[in-house]
Chain A
Amino acid sequence: LRPFSRPRVLLKAPTLAEMEEMNLFEDEESP
């Protein structure tokens, strides 16, 4: 029996640039 026969759910990903906008950190360098 194959342990991973269940189809996985595709997680849509933002682009690298879009991801930057979601930055969760406070930028220490910015005023």
Chain B
Amino acid sequence: RPVNIPRREKDFQGMLEYKKEDELKLVKNLILELKPRGVAVSMIPGLPAYILFMCLRHADYLNDDQKVRALLTSVINSIKKILKKRGDDFETVSFWLANTCRFLHCLKQYSGDEQFMKFNSSKQNEHCLSNFDLTEYRQVLSDLAIQIYQQLIKCMENILQPMIVSGMLEHETIQGVSGVKPTGLRKRTSSVADEGTFTLDSIIRQLNSFHSIMCNHGNDPELIKQVVKQQFYIIGAVTLNNLLLRKDMCSWSKGMQIRYNVSQLEEWLREKNLMVCGAKETLEPLIQAAQLLQVKKKTDEDAEAICSMCNSMSTAQIVKVLNLYTPVNAFEERVSVTFIRTIQNRLRDRKESPQLLLDTKVIYPVTFPFNPSSLALDTIQIPNSLNLAFLTRV
């Protein structure tokens, strides 16, 4: 009776052999023509990076410095090229940011440098590069990753920016709070038609979308935190800048609405376990401005309380909010000139820039903390859909 004996899979060393003349085909199929929304969806996160690194390992194993250099140059140039072509597509940029970082992590994890080998299995240690030290190429890849990160932030900004004023300031979700509109104030409408008006929900949905795309592509958790911090900075800065320019946004009820919106953003951070990424702190000037709209603004004690509360706002911003403050209901009063003078005198010794508006184009410096993978290179299989049959597993 025939017995079905499972065939032992050939032992692989976690390398991919390729012919020099197939190098262009490799980067074409794996980088230039790969659609993050197509076959890439079902792949393990970072698969292109692992495949490229396994090819690099083979060139290193052959001790062929020209082949190593040529491959690295082609990889880097192809990534740059695809980002030039589709740099306005968040998914493409996120995908190549994840893969560039994974490739960089692989170059460290398998460099043979002890500081990067602490978490390696003994099998992974056997997969270290044997002939070449690629420290300088790591620097180039790190520079490339910074460029891609900046592109991702720009891309994210382009999508988010049009939603912020409408969703954070104009749209009112707390029914009945604003009561009567301040007299003489024109209700500003954005250029978007009513049905296209963005709400806080639109912003939260967009944040969810950015977050899930980045997670699905295997971006490092520490990197996602930095992107979220930057997103929150932009939301806070654009909102505050508009508040500082619009009288109709400086009322007690708007303060209430802003505080509610901020609490929803904080809830989102909590849900995503992102409370310690510094994102909430970037909203501090906006939170204080919203509080400033709601506190009493009459006595010396009020002035003292405001000065100690608004420590993330500049004097120019505090004074501007007080000047713009517009009573909506009978129980509210305009802020007196004397009170504003008192505040100015109290804050006279503060050393700060006289700038009123926040710079919405500032990008926090990014870092890519080393994040080794537990994946064993010899177990990686290449899906047929990648059209890489010319590579041989070694």
Chain A residues with CB below 8 A from B140, complex form: 13-16, 19
Give the chain A neighbours of B126 by CB distance below 8 A.
Answer: 3
**Are the C-beta atoms of B77 and A11 separated by less than 8 Å?**
no
State the interface size on chain B (CB cutoff 8 A): 31
Q: Contact: A16 with B136, CB < 8 Å?
A: no
CB distance from A17 to the nearest CB of B (A): 9
User: A7's closest neighbor in chain B, by CB?
Assistant: B133
> Is B61 an interface residue when CB atoms closer than 8 A count as contact?
no
Q: A13-B136, A19-B140 are in contact. Are A8 and B130 (CB under 8 A)?
A: yes
Query: Known: A13-B139, A24-B24. Contact between A4 and B133, CB under 8 A?
Result: no
User: Which A residues lie within 8 Å of B129 (CB)?
Assistant: 8
Q: B139 contacts which chain A residues (CB < 8 A)?
A: 13
Contacts A4-B130, A9-B132, A13-B136; A20 near B112 (Cβ below 8 A): no
Partner of A11 from B68, B112, B143 at Cβ < 8 Å: B68
Q: Evaluate contact between B130 and A19: CB separation under 8 angstroms.
A: no
* Chain B binding surface SS class: helix
Please, which residues of chain A bring their CB within 8 A of the CB of B68? 11
Whether, in the assembled complex, B128 has its beta carbon less than 8 Å from a beta carbon of chain A, the answer is yes
Tell me the bound Cα distance from A10 to B74 in angstroms.
19
Q: Are A8 and B132 in contact (CB under 8 A)?
A: yes
Closest residue of chain A to B78, judged by CB? Answer: A25
> Smallest Cβ distance from B52 to chain A, in angstroms?
16
| Chain B 109-143 residues near chain A, CB threshold 8 A | 112, 125-126, 128-137, 139-140, 143
A-B pair count, CB < 8 Å, reads 67
Residue tally, chain A, CB below 8 Å to B: 19
Pick the residue among A4, A9, A22, A24 that contacts B112 (CB under 8 A): A4
Q: Is the CB of B133 within 8 A of A22?
A: no
Which residues on B sit within 8 Å (CB–CB) of A20? 77, 80
Closest Cβ–Cβ distance, residue B131 to chain A (whole Å): 6
Residue pair A11, B81 in contact (C-beta under 8 Å): no
Is B392 in the interface zone, CB < 8 Å from A? no
Main secondary structure of the interface of A (DSSP, over half): loop
A25 to B80, CA, bound (A): 12
For residue B64, give the distance in angstroms from its CB to the closest CB of chain A: 11
Min CB distance B384 to A, Å, is 26
Across-interface contacts of A3 in B (CB, < 8 A): 125-126, 128
Q: What residues of A have a CB within 8 angstroms of the CB of B81 in the complex?
A: 23, 25
What residue in chain A is nearest B81 (Cβ atoms)? A25
Judge whether B144 is part of the interface by a CB distance below 8 angstroms: yes
- Per-residue CB proximity of B38-76 to A under 8 Å, as 1/0? 000000000000000000000000000100111011101
Of residues B24, B74, B147, which shows the largest number of chain A Cβ atoms within 10 Å of its Cβ?
Answer: B74
- Nearest Cβ distance between residue B282 and chain A, in whole angstroms? 30
Which residues from B are CB-within-8-Å of A8? Answer: 112, 129-133
Find out whether the CB atom of A11 lies under 8 angstroms from the CB atom of B136. yes
A-side contacts of B77, CB under 8 Å: 19-20, 22-25
Contacts of A11 in B (CB 8 A): 65, 68-69, 132-134, 136-137
* CB atoms of B134 and A19 under 8 A apart: no
Question: Which residues of the partner chain B approach A23 to less than 8 Å between Cβ atoms?
Answer: 77, 81
CB of B130, distance to nearest CB on chain A (Å):
6
CA distance A12 to B70 in the complex (A): 13
Q: A3-B126, A12-B136, A16-B144 are in contact. List 10 more A-B contacts (CB 8 A).
A: A8-B132, A9-B65, A9-B131, A9-B132, A10-B136, A11-B65, A13-B72, A19-B76, A19-B140, A22-B77
- 24 A-B residue pairs with CB within 8 Å: A3-B126, A4-B128, A7-B133, A8-B129, A8-B132, A9-B132, A10-B133, A10-B136, A11-B65, A11-B68, A11-B134, A11-B136, A11-B137, A13-B140, A14-B73, A16-B80, A16-B143, A16-B147, A19-B73, A19-B76, A23-B81, A24-B70, A25-B78, A25-B81
The 7 closest A-B pairs by CB, nearest first: A13-B136, A8-B133, A4-B112, A10-B133, A13-B137, A16-B143, A23-B77
